[in-house]
Amino acid sequence: MGKLFYLLFVHAYQLGIRIVAYWNPKAKSWVEGRKQFPAMDGMGQKTVWMHCASLGEFEQGRPLLEAIKKQSPQTNIVLTFFSPSGYQTAKNYSGADHIFYLPMDSQKNAANLLDSIKPSLVLWVKYEFWYYYLTEIKKRNIPALMIAGLFRESQPFFKWYGDIWRQMLQSFTYFFVQNEESIDLLSSVGIKENVRISVDTRFDRVIEIAEKMEALPLVEAFCGSSKVIVAGSTREEDEEELTHYVKCNPQIKFIIAPHEIDPGNLKDVKKEFPGAILYSELAGANSQTITDHPSLVTGNNSPHVLIIDNIGMLSKIYHYAHISFVGGGFNEDGIHNVLEPAVYGKPVIFGPVYEKFAEAVDLVDCGAGISISNALELEKVLSELWNNEALLIEKSEAAKKYVFSKSGGTNHIMEYIQENRLLIN
């Protein structure tokens, strides 16, 4: 019965997204990207396949891929994505030999993909479980590692109807999970030996980004000597909570990086923050002149809100914040990457929907993260931080200390791979 429901879900999903693709650019990218299976020329004897649902999972898996490539340069790396946001951002990533969308789950697609890739090791990052792919991997006795696993009691693996989901779990050779709760839940369904806690590899990734930080002259000029708040990955609900405070505090510089940067959403964001300037507009206004004469963006009549209309800069922009705000916490999908600002030692504010995100919970527990439920709470928190420099410093130091205390997850997994000779044919 579970398999029947799974098949109905897969077919319904495909039908639904093909219909939505007529007017939705992301859905169209999802459909178009799966029309042609890529050629696998030059595949050697040793291939590692990593699957990531989206961009966040890629950032978790990336340090591990780079460690594998460093240890074994001749290894072929195949990287697949389910979502357009992940694929479109990472499609030119030089650390992989082949990057493409994962074909929709079916017995035929799973067999064809594995016949083509012939992986000697499969790395599955955190989320997404596809029955035919995972069971075909197990059928072929290919080692499969779950990376940064995070399980909750509400998931179907742990329900009476979850037989097919538990079969998927049995396809993994080893689980690297993020907390004790995940170990206990896996144990409750018979997975007791091949599982251990390992620090989330995203900590290694954000530390690497911070340590390789390069200056952004235009952003630096925009910020000047002002107090700066960076609001990253914001959705409409987040922007609504920010609007009043932004309008009432023109002396503070705000940098807002919306989660969606399509023209329609950028137009809406500019309406929310009158007088704001897009980064592309700033860059087009003779960037050398602005760099040489920063008063052009720091004068009394200059904009105090900068909207980032590109992908890839946000992790560096947090460096310029005094306080950060991470979006998604007013949406059922939950908050985005809180580690990106925390690694620079920035207090992190976010909305109330964060309980599913271990790093957000940890930041709250150590005093570096602050959850707010509305605009009034946001204003109260910001006023307290601006007016109490010792408190701001305390939270800043707590954020950085937390991130650096969690480094080493990549080495942890690499030790297992080496001990079990998984990169040796």
Domain residue ranges in the chain = 44-199+408-419, 210-405
| pLDDT in the model for residue 291 | 54
Give residues with Cβ within 8 angstroms of 405, minimum separation 6: none
Give the length of the chain. Answer: 425
What's the pLDDT tens digit per position in 314-345?
999 999 999 999 999 998 878 999 999 999 99
DSSP H or E run through 254: strand 253-258
* 3-state SS class at 119: coil
Give residues with Cβ within 8 angstroms of 93, minimum separation 6: 58, 62, 79, 99
* 3-state SS class at 144: strand
| pLDDT in the model for residue 86 | 86
**Contact of 185 with 178, CB cutoff 8 Å:** no
CA dihedral 267, 269, 270, 273 (to 10 degrees): 160
| pLDDT in the model for residue 119 | 94
The structure's pTM equals: 0.83
| pLDDT in the model for residue 14 | 80
| pLDDT in the model for residue 58 | 92
| pLDDT in the model for residue 425 | 59
Q: In what order do the strands lie in the sheet with 369-371?
A: 277-278, 305-307, 253-258, 228-234, 323-326, 348-350, 369-371
* Amino acid symbol at 113: L
Assigned CATH for 44-199+408-419: 3.40.50.11720
| pLDDT in the model for residue 300 | 58
| pLDDT in the model for residue 44 | 59
H helices present in 189-311, as ranges? 202-211, 217-223, 236-248, 263-272, 279-284, 287-292, 295-298
| pLDDT in the model for residue 32 | 78
Q: Low-confidence residues of the chain, pLDDT below 70?
A: 1-2, 36-45, 285-301, 425
Assigned CATH for 210-405: 3.40.50.2000
Fold matches, 44-199+408-419 and 210-405: yes
| pLDDT in the model for residue 16 | 82
| pLDDT in the model for residue 251 | 94
